[in-house]
Amino acid sequence: MRRYLLRRVLHAVPVVFGVVTVVFLLVHLLPGDPVEILLGESAMPAQKEELRREMRLDRPVLVQYADFLSGLPRGDLGTSIRSREPVLREIGRRFPATLLLAATSTFVAILVALPLGVLAATRKGRPADYLSGIASMVSLSVPNFCLGPLLVLLFSVQLSLLPVGGYGTARHLVLPAATLGTGMAALLTRMVRASLLEEIGKEYVTSAAARGLSRRAAVLRHALRNALLPVVTVLGLSFGAVLAGSVITETIFSWPGVGRLLVQAIDARDYPLVQGCVLVIALCTVAVNLATDLLCARLDPRIRYE
């Protein structure tokens, strides 16, 4: 297991380096000048040059890139142009909210997908299976930027049951978690169904039923456990998608997370803060994928032995 862990970590290193490089280059390709945004177009050229020198934007891009790389091992992501605070400190204040939203959304998705997927697999060809498939396709077809406002109109404006946005209580968490978790639940439901159907058709399930177990017990005790391996893989990938999708959802519901901070940083052309936010989201995605690989290797020893 240690050799497998070391190999996976070594494979993740070039991925992280590539993410860092792409993030830096994309941020510097953004149109607009942060100096003019801060000072305004009416500022004197001398003032602009002084601020550009202070923010170290007057140096060549390669020099800025080298400084950016040298600061990463120390956790130095630079200083925000807008707030003049360390980028890592600003992200650290917002990250718990994003992590809470992502974890809650994943929990909601699992809570919905697991029973629906099992029901669809055990009722193949019946109305429950068709209804589950229709619900999954509808959920996958509606993007977050449409589903979020629709939920606000229904539960906040029409029914007055939940707040429109904000942060602080469990009621504020319901709508954004439902928005993010719905798409993931639809994908996981189809994955659980397909994986479980494959396992139900194998001989060990028939043998378990022949020993006196009911079909339900054979499915839940034996087939479901083996069917969860590909589901865990998809769940890890979906968690990374949730972190990326939180950018839109946090903006819709005024959720004070890293996603909303990223949008505000892009509007202000705050290069260091944009780099830091995108980098944190990307690194979290890489870390989750690595953890998923390790969990799959723990569940199925054949993976690490290969």
79, β-bridge pairs? 86
Tell me the sheet residues that pair with 89.
none
Q: Which helix (H) or strand (E) holds 60?
A: none
pLDDT at site 90: 92
Calpha distance 260→12 (Å, rounded): 27
Domain CATH number, residue 200: 1.10.3720.10
Q: Residue 13: exposed, middle, or buried by beta-carbon count in 10 A (0-12, 13-18, 19+)?
A: exposed
Residue 264 lies in a domain: yes
- The parent domain of residue 244 ranges over 87-305
Residue 155 located in a structural domain: yes
Number of domains in the chain: 1
Number of H helices, E strands in the chain: 14, 0
Does a structural domain hold residue 56? Answer: no
Q: Would you tell me the crossing angle of helices 144-151 and 224-252 to the nearest 10 degrees?
A: 70
pTM of the model: 0.81
| Ordered DSSP codes for 214-234 | -HHHHIIIIIHHHHHHHHHHH
pLDDT of 300 reads: 65
Q: Which of 234, 291, 259 is nearest to 167 (CA)?
A: 259
Q: What pLDDT is attached to residue 209?
A: 66
From first to last of the 306 residues of the chain, give the pLDDT tens digit: 677 667 777 777 787 788 778 877 877 776 666 677 666 667 777 777 877 777 777 778 888 888 888 888 888 888 887 788 888 999 999 999 998 998 899 898 889 888 888 888 888 888 888 888 888 888 888 888 888 888 989 898 888 888 888 888 888 999 999 998 888 888 888 888 888 888 877 777 777 667 766 767 777 777 777 777 788 878 877 777 777 777 888 888 988 988 889 888 888 778 788 888 888 888 888 888 788 777 777 766 655 545
